[in-house]
Structure 1
Amino acid sequence: MSDYRPLPDEDRETFHAYTSYAFSPHQEPDEFDPEADHWKLGADRGLYDGDDVLCVCRHYWFETTWRGVPIEMPGLSAVASPPEHRHGGNVREMLLASLKEYRERGAPLSALWPFKYSFYRKYGWDTTNHRGELEFDPEVLADVVADVGDEGRFRKLDGDDWEAVDAVYREQTAGEDLSIDRTEDWWRHHWFEGWDSDPYVYGWERDGEVAGYVNYKIESDDGDKTFAGWELGAVDHQAFLHCLRFIYSHDSQVSTVTLHTGPDPVFLDLVDDPQNVTLRRKTGPMVRVVDVVDALETIPYPSGIETSLVFDVDDPLADWNDGRFELVVEDGTGTCTSTDAAPDVTLDIAALSQLVIGYRPVSRLVKTADIEAARPAREDLGALFPPRNVFCRDSF
């Protein structure tokens, strides 16, 4: 019988070999480095048959905010299995064991970045949010920053500046659901450091305080160089414009700028001709309810609504979620219990996950997700689970 357990130090090289083969089989694996910084960030697990490692994964114990409530949202990463152990149900067993561990920790949600959406969709995860990627010639910025001035100063930043950057990040993400609370180790060993090479990070200072930052790399393809902006943070619009001014200062070096943004970037309304900018809409990570009762009782509900709904939930992985649950909402608080009553809403766990985080309005979810509900129930669902500003931007 297989055994799910923490990965000991002596199996780290196996973890490295499995993940290298799973995610970059076309490349020669990097030499295993037991002192690499990424080992400091996660909690590694393996599914074992005796001493034989069948598959591995990594958990990040993220803290985030959901409808104003601080929660733990474990990030599942580095799920990998060698060819000789695939198609035997090992990964499914490890995913279930991971959910059990999350449940024991009291985490109502889990998130991951998929290698293929359909693979994790069948196990109950679904899209958390969308994101954008802008592409344009740097000359597009000329008119945008023409009148911004040259006050303040730009300064190269490193890991020792993490607190200053964190303050900007917290200002920018205030009001967003599921943005990760970045720890010092995350800043130092994930954000300021890269897997293959470290990014450049520059900040714009106003009155001696960092008010904006740009995390980027300069990429080259057959001699054409691209300013690849991975993250731009700013406490206000002035700081944002100065960060764009910094990017524009590379016009003699690069022929293209790419910039990761939210799904509805204000940048398009700043340029003279938006047709000179390409916006690629991309999917973000995936989210999953860990425990139906815990999730529905964790979040606050809009005041002034008193109702009850019976959910019939289909969960292909976690049997504790597979059944009917009655949610009673009074005075902004929800109470959830198992029931045998007739359902008002029938849905799978992936649809429930998108519903409770406010991924889309209910009127759209009933068209795109596995949800069946009569019109009165839809109205209650719409009132209880309005769309939210959800944006989990970190890769992991």
Structure 2
Amino acid sequence: MAADGPAPPAGTGPTPVKIREVTGDERLTTSFPLQSYAFGPSSAPPTDEELRPALPYHEGNRTMVVQDAGVTVAAASAIPMWQNLRGRVLDVAGVAWVVTHPLARRRGHSRDLLHHLLGEMRQQGHVASALYPFRSSFYARFGYLNLPKPRTVTFRPEDCAPLLKADLPGDITWRPFADGYDDYRLFQRRLLDRRHGFAMPPEHQSAAARDAGDRWLATARIDGEVVGMVTYRIDGQGGRLRADDLLTVDAFGRALLLRFFALHVDQVSEVVLTVAADEAPELWLSDLTARVETVISFPSAPPPMARLLSVEGLRGVEAGPGRVGVEVVDDPFMAGRYRLDGAGGRLVVEPGAKRVSAVLTAAGLSGLVYGVLDPVDVLARGLGTFADDAVAQLRSLFPRAVPCVFPPR
């Protein structure tokens, strides 16, 4: 914290508290020291030169800070990303590195900063926002709600041995992640077009994993076309193969990658793999012994959260037949009346609905659109109220769906 020193009591400095954007080298003495304290192990305050290598991975982000008497007391960043929401790829803001100086906490700085940051991202055309919270209840105040968390599957490589004899089309290539990085990004883009909830980070953020130099990349191809990819690390002889997200277009891609893991039977004791929330590992193989887990804890292992920032921005997402007037309340970004119509298979949004049969909070509408809440869930959680005819209409407009949300890499 040496860059800024201890924070003065709010309002006692020579200049008023203000929110402003920081860019470039300014991050070295404003947001970066706070991030280091909040998310890193205790150590001597990092120097500017120790922090400087991280700058390229933040240059595309929108970073805002709160300053009191010239001292940075809070910071937050928005990462411009893309997410598939019911068949349409939308601009979304990934909120990250929300931090407050330890001597300036409980003063509302993060609250003010988030309102400001989300407002700016909405003005720039971002339709939704997603994040990994330090505590869900804090972000629920801002209209966010939890989404399904990816599962972790742990199994022995020998349990995949039957796939070594299976007559599968295609083959596997293996190389350092850095060598296959461009192909990996292209494959992510393919999945972005076809998987509800799938999010793709910007180039400047993904480059951090590429440049770390600590991962391998296995690629499954059939007739030259990529059908699956996975990045991974190995602890060491007899240790674990720790795979990241299992990215596949079909069962062949998954089977080819599992067969690749089987080839490590004499090298590692276990494979630990991250899969989407809708995967069913018990159906992969007859005798697969596996531990499938979703660990939720705060702040170390939270589920993802998301919220909409614009109702009009939802025009064109896939929708079922239905028509309903809704009013969004208690939200600075979406409050108002809208007529939602999905009769043509794509959502039509018209502001200023005269007849309203559903009153929703931002979280209530977000839960319906993301597919994680049924209208009855919205009622039960106090996120909205409906006239009798609205429940069936909303259920038809936004049928339940499991968003495939992976940590951004």
Equivalent in the alignment of 2:210: 192
Cα distance change, pair 27–258 in 1 and its aligned pair in 2 (3 A): farther
The Cα shift of 1:92 comes to 0.3
The Cα shift of 1:86 comes to 0.9
Q: How does 1:3-82 map to 2 (within 5 A)?
A: 3-14=18-29, 15-26=31-42, 32-36=50-54, 37-82=56-101
Structure 1 CA distance for aligned equivalents of residues 374 and 17 of structure 2: 42
Structure 2 CA distance for aligned equivalents of residues 10 and 361 of structure 1: 47
Identical positions, percent: 23
Q: How does 1:172-191 map to 2 (within 5 A)?
A: 172-187=191-206, 189-191=207-209
2:53 counterpart SS class: coil
Structure 2 CA distance for aligned equivalents of residues 255 and 390 of structure 1: 32
2:165 counterpart SS class: coil
The answer on 1:2 being equivalent to 2:21 is: no
Structure 1 CA distance for aligned equivalents of residues 42 and 219 of structure 2: 36
2:134 counterpart SS class: coil
Equivalent in the alignment of 1:249: 263
1:63 counterpart SS class: strand
Selected match of 1:281 from 265, 275, 294: 294
The Cα shift of 1:371 comes to 2.7
Equivalent in the alignment of 2:137: 118
Cα distance change, pair 314–22 in 1 and its aligned pair in 2 (3 A): same
Q: Which runs of 5+ in 2 are unaligned?
A: 1-15, 296-301
The Cα shift of 1:98 comes to 0.7
Q: How does 1:92-111 map to 2 (within 5 A)?
A: 92-111=111-130
Cα distance change, pair 365–138 in 1 and its aligned pair in 2 (3 A): farther
Cα distance change, pair 363–151 in 1 and its aligned pair in 2 (3 A): same
The Cα shift of 1:139 comes to 2.1
Q: How does 1:383-394 map to 2 (within 5 A)?
A: 383-394=396-407
Selected match of 2:152 from 115, 126, 133: 133
Selected match of 1:349 from 358, 362, 379: 362
Residue 16 of structure 1 aligns with an amino acid whose one-letter code is F
Equivalent in the alignment of 1:294: 312
The Cα shift of 1:344 comes to 2.6
Pairs aligned (count): 382
Structure 2 CA distance for aligned equivalents of residues 228 and 329 of structure 1: 45
1:166 counterpart SS class: helix
What do residues 57-90 of structure 1 show as CA deviations (whole Å, max 9, x unaligned)? 1211112332333321011111111101211110
Selected match of 1:219 from 235, 238, 248: 235
Cα distance change, pair 248–12 in 1 and its aligned pair in 2 (3 A): same
Contact 2:94 2:131 in 1 (8 A): yes
Residue 18 of structure 1 aligns with an amino acid whose one-letter code is L
State the TM-score, normalized to the length of structure 2. Answer: 0.82
Equivalent in the alignment of 2:393: 380
Structure 1 CA distance for aligned equivalents of residues 291 and 156 of structure 2: 10
What do residues 313-355 of structure 1 show as CA deviations (whole Å, max 9, x unaligned)? 233xx2x545x5242537545344357x785323322222111
What do residues 1-27 of structure 1 show as CA deviations (whole Å, max 9, x unaligned)? 433222133432232221121123446
Q: Which runs of 5+ in 1 are unaligned?
A: none
Structure 1 CA distance for aligned equivalents of residues 252 and 89 of structure 2: 30
What do residues 191-244 of structure 1 show as CA deviations (whole Å, max 9, x unaligned)? 4345xx632223245555554322112237xx9622111122234433322211
Cα distance change, pair 237–55 in 1 and its aligned pair in 2 (3 A): same
Contact 1:312 1:343 in 2 (8 A): no
Cα distance change, pair 55–338 in 1 and its aligned pair in 2 (3 A): farther
Structure 1 CA distance for aligned equivalents of residues 191 and 127 of structure 2: 25
Selected match of 1:325 from 337, 362, 376: 337
Structure 2 CA distance for aligned equivalents of residues 171 and 78 of structure 1: 28
Once superposed, what is the RMSD of the aligned Cα atoms?
Answer: 3.0
Equivalent in the alignment of 2:12: none
Contact 1:47 1:54 in 2 (8 A): yes
Contact 2:245 2:406 in 1 (8 A): no
What do residues 345-380 of structure 1 show as CA deviations (whole Å, max 9, x unaligned)? 233222221112222333444334623224311111
2:58 counterpart SS class: helix
Structure 2 CA distance for aligned equivalents of residues 56 and 146 of structure 1: 54
Cα distance change, pair 342–169 in 1 and its aligned pair in 2 (3 A): closer
Farther off after superposition, 238-247 or 281-290: 281-290
Contact 2:170 2:223 in 1 (8 A): no
Structure 2 CA distance for aligned equivalents of residues 175 and 50 of structure 1: 49
The Cα shift of 1:134 comes to 0.7
Residue 387 of structure 1 aligns with an amino acid whose one-letter code is R
Structure 1 CA distance for aligned equivalents of residues 187 and 315 of structure 2: 32
Residue 320 of structure 2 aligns with an amino acid whose one-letter code is P
Cα distance change, pair 294–2 in 1 and its aligned pair in 2 (3 A): farther
The Cα shift of 1:97 comes to 0.4
Selected match of 1:87 from 95, 98, 106: 106
